[in-house]
Amino acid sequence: MAIGESHPAFEEAVAGTGERHPMGRRGAAAVVLAAALVAAALALPAAATGSPAEGLQPLSKIALHKATVDLHDSAYVRATPALLGEQGEDTEWVTVKYGWATPSVDDWIAVFSPADFISGTCPNPSRYPDEPLLCTAPIKYQYANYSANYMYWGKGSIRFQLINQRYDFSFALFTGGLEKPKLVAVSTPISFKNPKSPVYPRLAQGKSYEEMTVTWTSGYDISEAYPFVEWGMVVGGGAPTRTAAGTLTFSRGSMCGEPARTVGWREPGFIHTAFMRDLWPNKEYYYKIGHELSDGSVVWGKAYSFRAPPSPGQNSLQRIIVFGDMGKAERDGSNEFANYQPGSLNTTDRLIEDLDNYDIVFHIGDMAYANGYISQWDQFTAQVAPISAKKPYMIASGNHERDWPNSGGFFDVEDSGGECGVLAETMYYYPAENRANFWYKVDYGMFRFCVADSEHDWREGTEQYKFIEQCLSTVDRKHQPWLVFAAHRVLGYSSDSWYAAQGTFEEPEGRESLQKLWQKYRVDIAFFGHVHNYERTCPLYQSQCVTGERSRYSGTMNGTIFVVAGGGGSHLSSYTTAIPKWSIFRDHDYGFVKLTAFNQSSLLFEYKKSSDGRVYDSFTVDRDYRDVLSCVHDSCFPTTLAT
């Protein structure tokens, strides 16, 4: 369907709301469309990128190609301490003092890593013909007058939080704002004691429930040190096991375009993944990542523990977190004036506080929003490490991970900043047959999750469609009754104004292709992100609510509930003014969803705000196996009149 063409379901839903509207159905539709057009006009920069809500990556605001150098005797930048991580810390706060004779409001302090950021040769001479001062972006920056009285005294002091990302750091004072950067002073380098340390472990469930994987980042190639995980059962497991890890990396040449291939490029280090196999369901395990050097000594990471997944169909308390579009943010306040992902730290902190009360996390796309600035992936993995080191952290592919023109994706837009999926597909493990095809299933006790890849073609006849049907059709619902579909873009229902501006409530050809599968195989809940807000529908069949009930569902299973949970952290997007009749609850705020299966008959759904962790929307599902078997709509099996 062409953009701008009105979708039949859109007309239908608006017609439904029209019954309550004093202007009648046509009037209400006109109001909605007018509101949508206004919203579309306001959101033009976002629409141009193919997404409902976009911030500008703060690092992209720096006109690096215009940078000049003009070092001043009066100018200085000093950072302390010079040595970080003396006790093995992978995160440290440093104090940066700076000053000079002619301060201005748009002076700024850049954090560079590696410390030697001045280069005479840039990788793309057609874009940078004059061999400028800077060929690489800083990892972050802060305005100098963030420090009180900088304009009065001409000197200031800022605290930066640094994470261990394999190289040393330097701090540079620029004048001329971000548009005409002029370097006036640089600090001497500072460094972590061991920049190559193994850091930021992330667990993920493997291809079966008996397998947990751990992925981490280090500066050690396999030729220098051998990566492994040491692990075992916490109680009664005997001697620890050492399992070797595989090692991956990638080069600038594997990026698809700018800025990932140019100013955003940064050496990614080495990404290691080890598989801990033959786990006993629900047992507690410890693990510790490490690298064995040639002299036999070991460089260790920190020790953590996790609980092994339940076996498929196992009846025990199982709690799942789902959200999308979280992004990252800096705890030191740097980059924040860009207001890039204002809810990110709140969401992360609520999940860290609540670690004892859930079992597995699904972050369904748009993770770091690095957009081609590779350093930001280290910072994202560091931000979520307190969660991912202890809980399986399952991801989906979003437009900000994957999309790039002419790269085999379904959307020919530049949202990944040239990463074209390489970072997400390397930095995290997920149990896909081919990591470039980001679809997979997860059996977690009484749940089955079918995770789809909305950045690749899902339509009937494609490999992905076959996978989705296979995933949905092979689950044994008497033991795994809770069937969940998830994808990044909204393939189901959202009353976000961006979709409405296109005369629809979904991505083109989303549910047109998949609805029959959700209906035939009776998916309980379909989750989406991409739209940065929260919305929950009634149980739907052919775009119609199958019940007037809003929060306590029971009996025959005859509709799928669609949930947008894209308020993880990136700035919020707005709704249509008229509310479609299938839309039960909308919240224009940051938050995440928690599913709790108490047993095969009882499921609790909760939506929590990231600001306070409290529940703002919820529903329950109570039903028995016969309620899934019983004949409804097109999931009926043929029967005979013979007895």
Task: Answer whether 322's CB lies under 8 Å from 606's CB.
Answer: no
CB of 488 to Fe ion, least distance (A): 6
Tell me which stretch binds Fe ion (CB under 5 A): 85-93, 266-274, 292-300, 398-406.
398-406
Task: Return the closest-CA partner of residue 96 out of 140, 57, 63.
Answer: 140
Our CB check for Fe ion shows the closer of 330 and 366 to be 366
Q: Which amino acid is at 204?
A: A
Residues 158-197: x/- map of binding to Fe ion (CB under 5 A)? ----------------------------------------
Task: Return the closest-CA partner of residue 618 out of 507, 547, 534.
Answer: 534
User: Is residue 409 at the binding interface for Fe ion, with CB under 5 A as the rule?
Assistant: no
Tell me which stretch binds Fe ion (CB under 5 A): 64-72, 292-300, 353-361, 530-538.
530-538
Tell me which stretch binds Fe ion (CB under 5 A): 120-128, 358-366, 453-461, 600-608.
358-366
Give the one residue of 307, 456, 530, 608 binding Fe ion; rule: CB under 5 A.
530
Applying the rule CB under 5 A, the residues between 9 and 28 that interact with Fe ion are none
Instruction: Indicate the DSSP class of residue 480.
Output: -
Please identify which residue in the block is written with the tokens 């009037």: 27
Tell me which stretch binds Fe ion (CB under 5 A): 122-130, 134-142, 359-367, 449-457.
359-367
CB of 396 to Fe ion, least distance (A): 10
Name the 3-class secondary structure at 227. strand
Tell me which stretch binds Fe ion (CB under 5 A): 258-266, 364-372, 423-431, 469-477.
364-372
Phi, psi of 267 (to 5 degrees): -55, 125
Name the 3-class secondary structure at 15. helix
Give the one residue of 366, 378, 455, 524 binding Fe ion; rule: CB under 5 A.
366
State how beta strands 583-587 and 534-537 pair: antiparallel
Name the 3-class secondary structure at 153. helix
Tell me which stretch binds Fe ion (CB under 5 A): 493-501, 505-513, 523-531, 606-614.
523-531
- Distance separating alpha carbons of residues 643 and 640, to the nearest angstrom: 8
CB of 611 to Fe ion, least distance (A): 22
CB of 119 to Fe ion, least distance (A): 33
Which burial class, exposed, middle or buried, applies to 515 when counting CB atoms under 10 A from its CB (0-12, 13-18, 19+)?
A: buried
Taking phi over 0 as left and psi of -120 to 50 as alpha, with beta for the rest, 371 belongs to left
CB of 495 to Fe ion, least distance (A): 17
Our CB check for Fe ion shows the closer of 399 and 543 to be 399
- How many CB atoms are closer than 10 A to CB 247? 16
Give the one residue of 198, 301, 343, 398 binding Fe ion; rule: CB under 5 A.
398
CB of 567 to Fe ion, least distance (A): 12
CB of 404 to Fe ion, least distance (A): 14
Our CB check for Fe ion shows the closer of 46 and 63 to be 46
Our CB check for Fe ion shows the closer of 399 and 573 to be 399
CB of 62 to Fe ion, least distance (A): 24
Our CB check for Fe ion shows the closer of 399 and 513 to be 399
Tell me which stretch binds Fe ion (CB under 5 A): 276-284, 389-397, 402-410, 524-532.
524-532
- Please work out the total of residues on this chain that contact Fe ion, with binding judged by CB under 5 A: 4
Cα dist from 417 to 262, 309, 489, 584, whole Å: 10, 36, 18, 36
Applying the rule CB under 5 A, the residues between 201 and 240 that interact with Fe ion are none
State how beta strands 83-84 and 191-192 pair: parallel
Our CB check for Fe ion shows the closer of 178 and 396 to be 396
Task: Answer whether 133's CB lies under 8 Å from 68's CB.
Answer: yes
Give the one residue of 57, 399, 558, 574 binding Fe ion; rule: CB under 5 A.
399
Number of H helices, E strands in the chain: 12, 34
Q: Per this entry, what is the length of the chain?
A: 643
Which burial class, exposed, middle or buried, applies to 585 when counting CB atoms under 10 A from its CB (0-12, 13-18, 19+)?
A: middle
Task: Answer whether 343's CB lies under 8 Å from 610's CB.
Answer: yes
Structure tokens at 256: 């698809």
Structure tokens at 87: 């006790």
CB of 416 to Fe ion, least distance (A): 10
CB of 489 to Fe ion, least distance (A): 7
- Distance separating alpha carbons of residues 299 and 291, to the nearest angstrom: 5
CB of 366 to Fe ion, least distance (A): 4
Q: Residue with the closest Cβ to Fe ion?
A: 530
Our CB check for Fe ion shows the closer of 3 and 148 to be 3
User: What is the contact surface with Fe ion in residues (CB under 5 A)?
Assistant: 366, 398-399, 530
